[in-house]
Amino acid sequence: MSALQIENTDRYLKITLDKEAFDEAQIMDLLDYLRTEDLVKKAQFDDSILELSKSIKKSWWSKHKDTLLK
């Protein structure tokens, strides 16, 4: 069995992860990101709000990457 399996059904995309192959914190961050994307789509924001988000993230990363990558 591989560390990652994806099953595409009529309604769902099922993802199975091997716990030993992935860091739980990273998975939780990914799930938070997906939840946020879902909420943004439901709120019917236009693409400019997503571009603003990307800009903020890029700016934050530029300011903090040296500290985080020590």
Residues 1-10 have pLDDT tens digits of 689 999 999 9
Q: What is this structure's pTM?
A: 0.53
pLDDT in tens, 5-55: 999 999 999 999 998 998 899 899 999 999 988 987 888 777 788 789 889
Q: Is the Cα torsion angle 52, 53, 54, 59 positive or negative in sign?
A: positive
Task: Encode 35-63 in three state secondary structure.
Answer: HHHHHHHHHCCCHHHHHHHHHHHHHHHHH
CA distances from 37 to 22, 28, 43 (A): 22, 14, 10
Distance CA 28, CA 5 (A): 18
Tell me if 50 sits within 8 A of 57, measured CB to CB.
no
| pLDDT of the residue at 18 | 92
| pLDDT of the residue at 47 | 78
